[in-house]
Structure formats: structure tokens, C-alpha cells
Structure 1
Amino acid sequence: MLIKVVNPNTTLSMTATIERCARAVASPGTRVEAVSPSMGPASIESHVDEALSVPGILEQIALGETQGVDGYVIACFGDPGMDAAREAASGPVVGIAEAAMHTATFLGRGFSVVTTLGRTTGRAWDLAAHYGFSRQCTGIHACEIPVLELETDPDARKVITEACRDAALQDGSDAIVLGCAGMADLCEHISSEIGLPVIDGVAAATLTVQSLVAMGLRTGKRGEFAPPLPKAYTGLLSDFGTAAPR
């Protein structure tokens, strides 16, 4: 089984961390490859960033379809381009926010999300509602550390840990969801410090994709998620065209 983990940003050091965390939970016989697109933002912290990351995600999905990839993880907590990726991929596609929130619901009555910047909390609330977890999601909190500073700020681990502790106390939650793929390697440390389960969406999504592939399940292609109709694209998107319009 081959799982491709797509980090929608172009920061390769973060992609390497994501790959380590995904491989750590994969079963023997499951190969995990984490990649960044050749185009896109260095980090995703706005609606513009998210929108401009989607062509790069689809580029990697198209490449994966030629490489025999069995399933895909979208490793950004905004779950950008999920519907488009599910149209384009033959195997299952799972986003880390969706997988992490699902996982958290198995561990208690309510969960808190701790993410990077306050400006991204609205998107996280939207996703919780979209996935049907408005009741279980008891709060979404920002630690105000930009995504790229997760790797460089010497105080990042301490700040995020305390934000998780405060969120759990404020919300009365039973679990913490980490709201950024760049936090993927902090779960064990934070959980040991605050005494609650802490969920990394990279691990949760990797195992979800692995389970779906093992069960022989994939996105239904009869209706909305059928492959897109062939047509030409122009300008910067010309490589995405599949045929000239008739």
C-alpha cells in the first residue's frame, strides 16, 4: 500500500516532519511518501493562501495517479481542496482536520482545538460545523505563533503546551486537537504534560486512509465526485486542461 501525504505548503522542512509522523504510525507494508507541491505558499494562514494552494495539491494528486498511489492525506488543518482532490483521485482522500476531529469524538464528550493564528479560528469553526461536530467542539483557541515560526521559535513548544492546558480548563474538554500539521511532532509531549489525549491530524488521517484502503473502500464516483469533465484551461492553469472544449 502506498499513501501520499500532501503538505499543501512549500516548506520542505515541515514536509519532512510530517513524513516522520505519518510513517511512525503506518503499519508494516504501508509505504508513506510526503511531498510539497512545486507551486504555492510557504505557509497557509489566510483564505488567499488556501485558495492558491489548491492547484499545487491537484498537481500532486495527478502525479500520484500515475505512480500507483492508493490513498492521499491533505496535511493542512484547513483541509484545502478536499472536494477537488476527491474528484481527481481514484483512492480515498482524507484531510487532517476531518480525521483529527473524528478521532477526538471517540475519546470523550468534547474536544478543544489549539491552532496557530487567531485569524484561522473561523475556518476551523466552519470545518467543525461542516463535519457535524459543532456540539463536540467545545472551543477553538490560537497560540498566536505563525506557522513557519513553529520550527524556529524556541518557546513554541512551551507556548503551545500551555495553550492546550488553558483550552482544556476553559472548555472542560476531554481531548485536544492540534490545529496545524506543523505541530504533528508535539502530541506525546503535550499529552504527558496536561494529562489528556492530544490528537495529531497527520497520524489520524494516515491511519484513516490506511484503514479505508485495507477495506477496499474509496470515494464514490457515480455523482458529484466523478472525474471532472474534460476541458481546456488557459494561462497559468493550462497544464490542468484535459482536452479542448467541443
Structure 2
Amino acid sequence: MRLLVINPNTTATMTEKIGAAARRVAAPGTEILAVNPGRGPASIEGYYDEAISLAGLLEVIGSRSDYDAVIIACFDDTGLDAARCLTDKPVIGIGEAAFHMAAMLSNSFSVVTTLGRSVPAISHNLARYGLAARCARVRASEIPVLDLEDPLSDASARIGHEVARAILEDRAEAIVLGCAGMTDLARALSQAHGLPVLDGVVCAVALAEGMVRLGLATSRLGGYAPPRFDKSAPVPPGRGPAP
């Protein structure tokens, strides 16, 4: 099978890191196609960045069909609902995947993310997915996303500090890492702190593979029905703006 793993930002080094993480856990015979749009923000840190990344993200999905499932590798699950309207193949957001797996491995979990401005979007998603009660706290390490790509930054140590605080103060039994750029830290943090530390990229790969093997598809009824007409085409008569 082929999994299209999309980093919605334009930072190629992060895309490479995400692709490497996905390939490490993919089953034999699963091909990982790790890509990012050619236009959009270099990082996604809040609502505005999410909004301006959508066009590039949806272009990638709509322009190709060489995949069996799609993984959106942004922890805010950027464009998830719109992407599910573009294809009946499974589309999985790494935030949603990690939350659900953490809820099956622990009574309560904490999220450690990047900047404080990302906390509201993550909290809203937890409520929307029905998992807010299972999350003890969403913690911001106040690390800019692109610092995760800098080997000279202290990002790893600061994230580890927040994990330790989550165990002590939140009584968290598991940790969800709240950024795709943290994907390479999960295993070491789990070993260092003695609890499950979940990275949404690998969680999403496992779920996507399972859905494809089961022959599951996204519902075309209701909210995930395909667009009624091609939004990239000229506006049909009578649908343009009022004079």
C-alpha cells in the first residue's frame, strides 16, 4: 500500500524527518510518500498559519491519486475535514490519531506542544473528538516550531522538562507530543521518563495501514460528501458575487 504523508508547511527538513519516522514503523510492503506543498507557511503556529496553509495542502491531495490513505502531519489536524471531502480514501490527522491511542493506553494524558498560541486549537480539537476529559492538560514548552529543526537549540531538554512537570503536576500517565517536528524525540523521552510518549506520525501510520487492510473508506454521506462542483474552475453562471 502507499501512504501519502503530507507536512502542510513548506519546511523540507521537517518533511524528511516525518518521512523517516513513518518509514521506521511502516509494515513491509507499505510505501511512504512524504511531501509538502510548494507554497504556504514555513511553520504552522496557530490559527492564521493554519488558514494560509490550506490551499497548498488541498492542492497536493487533489492533484494526485497514487495513494491508499492520507496522513496530515500537522498536530492541529490542519484541513482534516476539507481533505476528507476530496477523497473517499482514509484521511488521518496525527493529532486525532495520537489522542485516541493515548486514551487507550492511559487513564489520562497530557499534551506537550510548542508555543502557547497553539494550545487553544489543540484544546478545541480534544473537545471536538470527545477526549477533553481524558486530557489532564495541554502544556506549551514555548519552543518555536523551527527550533525543532536546529540541532544547536535546547528544544529537546525543554520538552523533557515539560514531560517531567506533566508527570508530577498533572499526574499524567502518558504524554502526547504536540508537533510533528517532535517525532524523533518520542522514544528517548519514553525511556527517560518511564511512561508512554506518543508521536502522532507513527500513530497515524499504524491506523492508516489498518484501515486500508480492512478496506475502509471515508463516508460520502453528509458532511464528507464531495464538493458539488470544482472550486478551482471558473465560477458557474449565477454563482458569482453580486454586482
Do they superpose with TM above 0.5?
yes
Contact 1:4/1:64, CA 8 A, preserved across alignment: no
- The residue identity in structure 2 corresponding to 1:223 is G
Distance (Å, rounded) in 2 between the aligned partners of 1:169 and 1:115 = 17
How big is the shift at 1:161?
1.0
Q: CA offsets per residue over residues 111-142 of structure 1, 9 Å max, x none?
A: 00000001111111111101110110010101
1:106 paired with 2:97, answer no
| 1:16 aligned partner | 16
Distance (Å, rounded) in 1 between the aligned partners of 2:147 and 2:202 = 22
- The residue identity in structure 2 corresponding to 1:218 is A
How big is the shift at 1:90?
2.6
1:130 paired with 2:121, answer no
Distance (Å, rounded) in 2 between the aligned partners of 1:169 and 1:34 = 37
Contact 2:143/2:155, CA 8 A, preserved across alignment: yes
Which runs of 5 or more residues in structure 2 are unaligned? Answer: 238-243
| 2:113 aligned partner | 115
Q: How high is the TM-score relative to the length of structure 1?
A: 0.93
Q: How high is the TM-score relative to the length of structure 2?
A: 0.94
Distance (Å, rounded) in 1 between the aligned partners of 2:147 and 2:117 = 16
Identity %: 47
Which runs of 5 or more residues in structure 1 are unaligned? Answer: 234-239
Distance (Å, rounded) in 2 between the aligned partners of 1:136 and 1:161 = 21
Distance (Å, rounded) in 2 between the aligned partners of 1:15 and 1:129 = 28
1:224 paired with 2:223, answer yes
- The residue identity in structure 2 corresponding to 1:133 is L
Query: Over the residues paired in the alignment, what is the CA RMSD in angstroms?
Result: 1.1
1:153-232 matched pairs, under 5 angstroms: 153-231=152-230
| 2:240 aligned partner | none
Q: CA offsets per residue over residues 159-198 of structure 1, 9 Å max, x none?
A: 1111111112111111000000000010111011111100
Distance (Å, rounded) in 1 between the aligned partners of 2:132 and 2:210 = 25
- Deviating 4+ runs (over 2 angstroms): none
Distance (Å, rounded) in 2 between the aligned partners of 1:35 and 1:23 = 13
